[in-house]
Amino acid sequence: MFSDKIIIKGARQHNLKNIDIEIPRNKLVVITGLSGSGKSSLAFDTIYAEGQRRYVESLSAYARQFLEQMEKPDVDYISGLSPAIAIQQKAVSKNPRSTVGTVTEIYDYLRLLFARVGVPHCPKCKKEIKPQSAQQIVSELMKLSAGTKIIILSPVIQGRKGEYHELFKNILQKGFIRAKIDGKIYELENPPKLEKYKKHDISVVVDRLEISPSVKSRLSESVESALKLSNGIIAVETQSLNCSIAQSLIFSEHHSCTNCGISIPEISPRFFSFNAPYGACPECSGLGKKIEVDEDLVVPDKNLSVYDGAILPWSKPITTKRHRWSGAWSNYYYSLLSGVARRHNFSLNTPFNKLSRENQKHVLFGDTEFEGVIGNLERRYKETESEYVREEIFTKFMRSKICEKCRGHRLKDEVLAVTFSGKNISEITGMSIKDAIEFFKNVQLTETEKFISKEITKEITARLSFLENVGLDYITLGRESSTLAGGEAQRIQLATQIGSGLVGVLYVLDEPTIGLHQRDNRRLLDTLSKLKNLGNTLLVVEHDEETIRSADYIIDLGPGAGEAGGEIVFAGKIEDLLKNEKSLTAKYLNGELGIPVPEKSKREIKNFLEVKGAQQFNLKNIDVRIPLGNFTAITGVSGSGKSTLVYEILYKALTQKIYKSKEIPGVHKDILGWQKIDKVIIVDQSPIGRTPRSNPATYTGVYTHIRDLFSRLPQSKMRGWTPGRFSFNVKGGRC
């Protein structure tokens, strides 16, 4: 029989004191109470854990091996549970390939949109690309130098899984005897055995010939045969004198530039993916940035000469301790640089910043006889088998930089040359959510384009609106997921769930209002209401007054924290909570208790930290003065630039100045008054540690003093015990 309640009996997880509770389904239920009163123990560790555990157990043994198995919570009985989804405050993904667009699946719809109605252009001359006929392809190939050897290939399989036994038989029956399979040419009478679950590329070898006026007729027949086999796409490989591939050309009956002779492959959704080789920038593999040796880290003090140690990695040699040489210089490296100086007529005693840029490049990037300091470091980083050397080079001399080829857009030039309403896919993902909604609202399309894209644009606009409704109208779709704050990541998951349209699900949320300006609170509550109205149950752990007052049902835990908590103080509606005399939450809601505003500080302000010309992201060239020795709050609506000012500019600039960090701060002119600071510490929402050996005592350093204290006891001294004896991390102390 269908239950309209979640019934829990005898919950004892963590500090819960054998509680019984009935929670209404399909309602917005808020669990509140003091920090440590057992809210998360009830919501996440009992209700969510059991809902997830039961769902996983209902799956087949094969499916269960891929899913995380949750432990059964300490509870006597739970009924009325639905499949549960937890939306917590943690980064969605640390993968640099994960963006807001990929997490919300909006990028998948954009790929589909561009594949269906995108207009391809030549990446070189920017002219709109039109399909090529077989005759145009032949004419293009006949322009190759006489005597050029070519192989005409027909790509029949591109990046698909399978063994393809039948395909090889069919190709043989059609009279073709060779195929290029995963980069190698094979006889089809004896094809290789392909792995079923691995992606493969298979192209039929249609013909091999040498360009000359007499082969035009044969070339035409081969091109037409190749186009028929692969639905309008052929690949032509030209061969050099040693028979290696000199050039690979792609021709298409679909898209080709008549001016430049550039053809682009079939336009499909995967063509726009930066996570697949078909669309990803070949230089950075779709990351938009590369880890490279940084010139400023190699020569940190340009006032020094090369002889005096301007080249940091070669003034303090990087090598294993076993082979460490004595003295500050290696004769080998010095002789190399002396040779460079002789060849280009400059002195190693000249300060580095007084050398011409050309001579600086000869030192750093080399010449015909010398690989350069940077080239040497990059080669050693790639080739060394020593983890010590690799780690030294990486931590001291390498830095993440925007990829020069794709300029941070992650995609190939030919992909970025495809436009929708005048914008390429990267330009759209670079817009804020608010601007993207406006763009799709006002987009001008032909009747045909409207008919094709109607459902896709409808889905994109709906998902963008969900993000706007949870107060995230300022973020961009191209932003990396790892850079999101905990609250932002949680609200993105919330918007994604609304977009999925699931019904009958139990959603468990962890303080969704954290980091949200009061202006956006109402919109978040409307979003939660929409999720509830779809037919879902929402269980929200929350302290926010507006959220508590908007709840259909409230569970107040307490009366204290830790051992003094874990009991149900109240369960019911807001009107009844306000009358409850035992509830501490009710006393604050009624105004009986409050937090008094402290008197204004009388402390004299003498020194300031000044940020000049801050213009990173949305900051408009602002100057900010922050008093030192005071408690300063920086506030504003979501997306106003608070984190950009404090973290991207101030924190990164101070770590660079104080600790010589490799962090590159956001765009600003200067930081004044930083000399009056000797430490900078950031306290953010990232987890403090995941190791099972860490606990509050070890993390805070208290455990060190406890171990010292026990080692000084008379009994410990008699036995010769040191502080290590009382450590659970070393042999002798641990169980």
CATH number, domain containing residue 240: 3.30.190.20
pLDDT, greater one: 222 or 329? 222
- On whether both 523 and 570 belong to a single domain, the answer is yes
**pLDDT (tens digit, 9 = 90+) per residue, 171-220?**
999 999 999 999 899 999 999 999 988 989 999 999 999 999 999 999 99
Are residues 541 and 496 both part of a single domain?
yes
Q: What is the pLDDT of residue 423?
A: 95
For residue 326, name the pLDDT band (cuts at 50, 70, 90).
Answer: very low
Q: Which of 558, 590, 622 is the last residue of a domain?
A: 590
Residues 239 and 307 occupy one common structural domain: no
Lowest mean pLDDT among 345-354, 490-499, 603-612: 490-499
Within a domain: residue 209?
yes
pLDDT tens by residue, 62-116: 988 888 778 899 999 999 999 899 988 776 677 889 999 999 999 999 999 999 9
The answer to whether position 310 is within a domain reads yes
Tell me if 103 is assigned to some domain: no
146 in the same domain as 250:
yes
Helical packing angle, 433-441 and 447-469, nearest 10°: 150
Mean per-residue pLDDT, 210-237: 91
Closest CA to 505 of 3, 26, 46: 26
Q: Is 656 among the domain residues?
A: yes
Cα dihedral sign, 427-432-433-437: negative
Domain edge (last residue) among 402, 426, 456: 402
For residue 436, what pLDDT is reported? 96
pLDDT class of 243 with cuts at 50, 70, 90: low
Scored b (16 or more CB within 10 A) or e, 235-248 reads bbbbbeeeeeeeee
Phi and psi torsions of 235, nearest 5°:
-120, 135
**Would 475 be classed as within a structural domain?**
no
Q: How many CA within 13 A on the CB side of residue 173?
A: 6
More confident residue, 732 or 669: 669
Structurally, the chain folds into a number of domains equal to: 5
Is 373 inside any structural domain? yes
Q: In this structure, is residue 600 part of a structural domain?
A: no
Q: What is the pLDDT of residue 176?
A: 93
Looking at the fold, whether 693 and 670 belong to one and the same domain comes out as no
Question: What does the pLDDT look like over 552-577, one tens digit per residue?
Answer: 999 999 999 999 999 999 999 999 99
550 and 527 fall within a common domain: yes
Predicted confidence at residue 328, as pLDDT, reads 43
Do 568 and 625 belong to one domain?
no
Residues 81 and 174 in one domain: no
Tens-place pLDDT, residues 9-31: 999 999 999 999 999 999 999 99
Q: Is the peptide bond before 131 cis (omega within 30 degrees of 0)?
A: no
- Shared domain for 511 and 563, answered yes or no, is yes
User: Distance (Å, rounded) from C-alpha 292 to C-alpha 464?
Assistant: 36
Q: Are 66 and 454 in contact (CB under 8 A)?
A: no
Q: At which residue do the structure tokens 């995380």 appear? A: 68
Q: How far apart are the first and last CA of the chain?
A: 50
Q: Which of 353, 370, 402 is the last residue of a domain?
A: 402
* HEC sequence for 363-393: HHHCCCCCCCHHHHHHHHHHHCCCHHHHHHH
Identify the domain containing residue 319 by its residue range: 289-402
pTM: 0.74
Which amino acid belongs to residue 613? G
Question: Is 313 within a domain?
Answer: yes
More confident residue, 319 or 272: 272
pLDDT at 319: 43
CATH of the domain at 561: 3.40.50.300
Residues 699 and 670 in one domain: no
* Cβ–Cβ < 8 Å for 340, 358: no
Q: Hey, how many other C-beta atoms are within 10 angstroms of the C-beta on 157?
A: 19
Same domain as 335, residue 233? no
Q: Across the strands, what pairs with 181?
A: 184, 202
Residues 163 and 253 in one domain: yes
